[in-house]
Each structure stands twice: as C-alpha cells, then as structure tokens.
Amino acid sequence: MSLVELEIVELSEDALQEVNAIERVSQDRPWSQSSFRRELHVSFSIILGARSLEDQRLFGYLVFWHVSDEIHVLNVAVHPDARRRGIGRQLVEASVSIGRNLQATVMYLEVRASNHAAILLYKSLGFTVVQTRENYYPDNLEDALVMECPLDSVAATD
C-alpha cells in the first residue's frame, strides 16, 4: 500500500461496520460492534477515525474518554495492511490536540507488554511506563503497561 493522505475525523454510527472489521483483524479479543455503539452514546467518549482523503476508506480508529483533566485511551487499531505508515501516530496526536482543547493535562493508556511497535510509538510521543498490571489480558494473562504522557510534552500539531 502506498502512502495516502488522511483526515482524522470523529466517527459516528455509520462507521461502525468499518470499525468492527478493523477491530476483528487487529485484536485478539475484539470489542463487539455494540460496545463501539455504546461508546458513541457516552458523553465523555470520542471515537476518532483515520480516513483516506481519496476514497474515504477507514484505515484506523482510536477511542478515548475525557474525564476531568485526563484523557484515557481505551482502544486503538490500524488495519494490518496500513500499519507502519504513521496512521497510529496521527490518531494519537489528534487525540492529544482534542484533549488540550478540552483542557486535559495528561493522557493514559494500557498496552500489551509484547506490543513493541506500539510501545516505541508511545515513547516517541512522550509517554512513559508508570505501572505494570500483571496478568491483565484475560486471553493469555499477559501484562499490561500503563503509560502516561503530560499533554504539554507532545509537540503541538494543531
């Protein structure tokens, strides 16, 4: 796949089939479509999508909560055919920008300890590991790394 021009947009219910398709090929224990639908109706939840400007194809998404002065990333995935092209980075950077606009000061996420590519991405954006949750993932009892990033440490992309 060649590089594509993307737009990061807030997703609505009409994108749920595309989101669910990416989820099923990206996650060991995928969320259900109804889980994503519920997030659309939570006042503090936002689902961002990375869409091709050329054909509006969805390449990835990120779900986060804005709670008080914090952003909590719940789920992020990029279609396997579109990985390593900066799409995940653009989604995280967009969530940082939105978080800043909402007066958030810090972002948190959990990542599988074995997901080295994601850990490198998050570290490159200023995240640090602040805790390990042992046996966190029920499918294989893998540890989760809790990562934190002060939003003023991420270069602005607004």
Written as one string, the DSSP assignment of 82-114 is G-SSSHHHHHHHHHHHHHHHTT--EEEEEEETT
pLDDT recorded at residue 154: 64
State how far the Cα of 95 lies from the Cα of 6, in Å rounded to an integer: 15
Distance of alpha carbon 37 from alpha carbon 141, whole angstroms: 27
Query: How many Cα atoms sit within 13 Å of 88 on the Cβ side?
Result: 22
1, pLDDT greater than 50:
no
* Whether the Cβ atoms of residue 57 and residue 86 lie closer than 8 Å to each other: no
Return the bridge partners of 48, or none.
10, 62
Helix axes 16-26, 33-40, angle to 10 degrees: 130
CA torsion, ordered 157, 13, 60, 94, to nearest 10 deg: 10
pLDDT at 158: 47
CA–CA dist 110, 132 (Å, integer)? 9
Which residue among 110, 134, 136, 137 is the active-site one?
110
Is 122 labeled as catalytic in the residue annotation? yes
Q: What is the pLDDT of residues 36-92, one digit of tens each?
A: 999 999 999 999 999 999 899 999 999 999 999 999 999 999 999 999 889 999 999
pLDDT in tens, 106-156: 999 999 999 999 999 999 999 999 999 999 888 888 999 999 999 987 655
pTM of the model: 0.90
CA–CA dist 30, 54 (Å, integer): 28
Q: Which domains does the chain have, with CATH numbers?
A: 6-153 (3.40.630.30)
Tell me which of 39, 61, 108, 122 is the catalytic residue: 122
Check whether 2 has a pLDDT greater than 60: no
Q: What mean pLDDT is reported for the chain?
A: 92
- Written as six digits, the tokens of 120 are 């490198």
> Per-residue pLDDT for 100 more than 90?
yes
The answer on pLDDT for 3 being more than 80 is no
